[in-house]
């Protein structure tokens, strides 16, 4: 049996690293998103009161933002009830119910703004994408609250889509430019037990990229030349060829990973080995050649996506917050295919680094892109301003295209679902953090408690409380970054060799059994593949799953010449006063002394001894960068 993640509802996280992040998410992030959604008119858009010429014209993306806000709140309600949140959502659901058309269609932009254009531009208009998020919100809200009103709306809409799209004559043979509905339909199928939603998802996956090309035809139907597609070609949206012919990571990162996540799940369910092999190959390509040391993906802002293998610029890294989420979705499904901890390694790396960088520490400011290097005079994502003096890149309250804030909020709220996976006889412990969880395994109910200061400390104590003596395998994930570990069962050391990244304890478990896992967590100096030209001659500091960066706030400016001598001592220290308590790394570095330089931009090394001055270095977790004054930041430090 393939492992499945346990429900987020069964994992209670009230303290530790993720406890704090979830509290901030509930107390600051979700209210901030609600506020922004309200003042921009996103929620009220569903009232369909907008008229031409009025402000707040409903935008094609808005329904997805609202849906993700609902879903984020729903995840949070599942473990932390909040009547005020619930009331806000129920109000919007009433509006959606009133807005939904007789035939099931439900899209605030197309109903209010351009009803004549329904389904006329699947390539660009995100109509099915919005439907997907509405469906996901409905499923999660039903799971969290047992209220089914939104789920019924979603089913009616999904049925309308099912009538509209498909292989039959008279149906449209199209699919969304931005995959997401595919994932949503799989969740709807699972929630409702209706295989037709699974079939529809599979149809969208299979139809994508077929010839004659739907987007060509659709463009011609609109009187447009398909060759004048703004993104140039269909690689941007992974519709250049059918999915079974995909050979590399290409195009928009979020679209790619949503698509492949759904395709992996479908291939798993349907035993499609060819498609599974394609997915595995693409994953290897992604993680071996297109991933930043922070776990982020997508190296170019123009297409928010992939370029060529090993091309990973730091200052202009896109590493979109949403792309980390999409990568996590895909990894989770690949783990079901092949229970190897490397998929969870990718999840953990993205979670602690590229993803969390997307929100300020206090919780109400957001990054869409998460560069690995910053300079106060560089605005790396403005085409015109590229590398020019511009506004400092900093987190902002909101975006016109605000996909990331609510997406991040729903991921953080649902992070518990990544903590454990289950087969009938094996419990995988995937992520480590204070939590209490409840699972059904080996015919018993088992309560699990994790006590740990992870990721700042590598010691994790699990207490298992089965309601009866129960035999099952406890599979403890040994992260790839860990080269030494120790396990004690009820205080007695056991020797275990990890299999596919897991130390597996088979045992008859009794109430109060404790398992202590100690993961050695030295500071590592990471070096990059020789083909990654942007990191050549540099190192990144990592300890456990946390990737570090240096900031001007701690180290002064001109960070590029800050060099770490080979093998020089580095000290890890927990700073209880910084960001509510984080681990920092200090040491001695060398830097070029600007006083050695008068006017010349270049001088001969042979002409003078170019003195380097010893300076104190302090690194902080990358995910907490840009929470103090504006200034330089860099992950990759010069090697001395």
Q: Which residues bind its own copies (CB under 8 A)?
A: 232, 284, 287-289, 291, 293, 299-300, 302-303, 307-308, 310-311, 313, 316, 375, 377-378, 383-389, 481, 483, 522, 524-534, 536-540, 542, 558-561, 563, 566, 591-594, 597, 599-607, 610, 638-639
- The residue among 201 and 534 lying less far from its own copies, judged by its C-beta, is 534
403 counts as catalytic: yes
In contact, 404 and 320? CB cutoff 8 Å: yes
Q: What's the sign of the alpha-carbon dihedral 57, 61, 67, 72?
A: negative
Enter the DSSP assignment of 378. Answer: B
Closest residue by Cα to residue 3 from 578, 526, 572, 439: 439
Nearest distance from C-beta of residue 375 to its own copies, angstroms: 7
Beta carbons of 636 and 535 less than 8 angstroms apart: yes
Strands 426-429 and 470-477: parallel
DSSP string, 191-240: HH--HHHHHHHHHHHHHTT-SS-HHHHHHHHTT--GGG-TTSSGGGGT-S
Compute the distance between CA of residue 56 and CA of residue 515 in angstroms, rounded to an integer.
56
Q: Which of 44, 182, 304, 320 is catalytic?
A: 304
Q: How far apart are CB 184 and its own copies at their closest, in Å? A: 30
Closer residue to its own copies in complex, CB, 77/562: 562
> CB under 8 Å to 157, separation ≥6 — which residues?
100, 104, 105, 106, 131, 134, 135
Query: Cβ closer to its own copies: 107 or 346?
Result: 346
Nearer residue to its own copies within complex by CB, 504 or 615: 615
607 contacts 596 by C-beta, under 8 angstroms? no
Name the residue nearer to its own copies (CB basis): 269 or 338. 338
> Hey, what are 119's tokens?
């389904």
Q: Of 369 and 411, which has the nearer Cβ to its own copies?
A: 369
170 or 601: CB nearest its own copies: 601
Q: Which residues contact 132 (CB under 8 A, 6 or more apart)?
A: 64, 176, 180, 181, 182, 183, 184, 185
304 is catalytic: yes
- Rank residues 98 and 603 by Cβ distance to its own copies and give the closer one: 603
Phi, psi of 135 (to 5 degrees): -65, -45
Q: Please, what is the minimum distance in Å from the beta carbon of residue 244 to its own copies?
A: 22
Q: Give the span between the Cα atoms of 391 and 377, in whole angstroms.
A: 7
In whole angstroms, give the CA distance from residue 222 to residue 211: 19
CB of residue 323 vs its own copies: minimum separation in angstroms? 16
Strand boundaries in 287-352, DSSP class E? none
Say how far apart CA 458 and CA 617 lie, in whole Å: 24
Q: Are 433 and 18 in contact (CB under 8 A)?
A: yes
Using alpha carbons, select from 34, 64, 70, 63 the residue that is nearest to residue 145. Answer: 70
Nearest to 374 by CA among 132, 592, 550, 117: 550
Check 130, 257, 322, 403 and give the catalytic one: 403
Question: Would you name the residues annotated as active-site residues?
Answer: 304, 403
């Amino acid at each position: 049996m393939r492992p499945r993640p346990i429900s987020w509802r069964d994992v209670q996280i009230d303290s530790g690293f993720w406890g704090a992040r979830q509290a901030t998410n509930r107390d600051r992030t979700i209210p901030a998103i609600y506020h922004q959604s309200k003042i921009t008119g996103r929620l009220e858009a569903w009232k369909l009161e907008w008229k031409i010429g009025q402000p707040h014209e409903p935008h094609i993306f808005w329904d997805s933002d609202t849906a993700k806000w609902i879903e984020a709140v729903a995840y949070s309600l599942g473990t932390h009830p909040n009547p005020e949140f619930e009331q806000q959502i129920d109000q919007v659901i009433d509006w959606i119910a009133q807005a939904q058309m007789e035939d099931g269609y439900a899209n605030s932009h197309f109903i209010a703004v351009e009803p004549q254009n329904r389904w006329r531009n699947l390539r660009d208009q995100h109509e099915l994408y919005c439907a997907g998020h509405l469906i996901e919100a409905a499923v999660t809200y039903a799971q969290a609250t047992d209220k089914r009103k939104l789920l019924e709306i979603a089913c009616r809409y999904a049925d309308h889509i099912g009538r509209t799209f498909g292989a039959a004559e008279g149906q449209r043979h199209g699919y969304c430019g931005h995959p997401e509905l595919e994932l949503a339909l799989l969740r709807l199928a699972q929630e409702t037990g209706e295989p037709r939603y699974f079939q529809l998802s599979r149809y969208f996956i299979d139809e994508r990229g077929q010839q004659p090309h739907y987007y060509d035809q659709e463009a011609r139907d609109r009187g447009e030349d398909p060759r004048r597609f703004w993104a140039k070609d269909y690689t941007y949206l992974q519709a250049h060829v059918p999915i079974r012919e995909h050979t590399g990571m290409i195009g928009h990162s979020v679209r790619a990973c949503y698509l492949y996540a759904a395709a992996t799940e479908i291939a798993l369910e349907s035993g499609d080995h060819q498609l599974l092999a394609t997915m595995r190959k693409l994953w290897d390509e992604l993680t071996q050649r297109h991933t930043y040391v922070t776990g982020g993906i997508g190296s170019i802002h123009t297409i928010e996506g992939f370029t060529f293998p090993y091309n990973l610029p730091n200052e202009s890294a896109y590493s979109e917050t949403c792309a980390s989420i999409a990568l996590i979705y895909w990894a989770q499904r690949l783990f079901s295919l092949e229970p190897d901890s490397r998929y969870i390694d990718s999840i953990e790396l993205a979670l602690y680094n590229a993803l969390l960088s997307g929100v300020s520490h206090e919780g109400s400011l957001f990054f869409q892109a998460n560069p690995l290097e910053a300079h106060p005079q560089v605005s790396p994502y403005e085409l015109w301003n590229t590398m020019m003096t511009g506004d400092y890149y900093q987190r902002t309250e909101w975006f016109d295209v605000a996909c990331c804030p609510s997406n991040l909020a729903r991921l953080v709220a649902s992070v518990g679902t990544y903590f454990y996976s289950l087969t009938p006889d094996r419990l995988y412990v995937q992520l480590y953090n204070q939590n209490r969880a409840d699972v059904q395994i080996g015919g018993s109910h088992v309560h699990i408690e994790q006590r740990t200061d992870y990721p700042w400390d590598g010691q994790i104590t699990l207490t298992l409380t089965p309601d009866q003596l129960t035999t099952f395998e406890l599979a403890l994930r040994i992260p790839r970054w860990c080269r030494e570990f120790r396990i004690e069962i009820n205080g007695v050391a056991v020797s275990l060799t990890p299999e596919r990244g897991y130390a597996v304890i088979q045992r008859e478990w009794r109430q109060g059994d404790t398992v202590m896992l100690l993961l050695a967590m030295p500071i590592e100096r990471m070096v990059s593949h020789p083909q990654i030209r942007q990191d050549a001659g540099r190192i990144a500091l990592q300890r456990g799953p946390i990737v570090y960066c240096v900031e001007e706030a701690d180290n002064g400016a001109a960070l590029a010449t800050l060099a770490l001598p080979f093998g020089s001592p580095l000290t890890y220290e927990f700073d209880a006063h910084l960001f509510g308590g984080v681990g920092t790394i200090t040491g001695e570095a060398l830097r070029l002394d600007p006083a050695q330089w008068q006017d010349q931009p270049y001088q001969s090394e042979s002409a003078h001894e170019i003195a380097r001055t010893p300076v104190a270095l302090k690194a902080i977790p990358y995910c907490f960068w840009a929470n103090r004054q504006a200034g330089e930041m860099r992950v990759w430090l010069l090697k001395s």
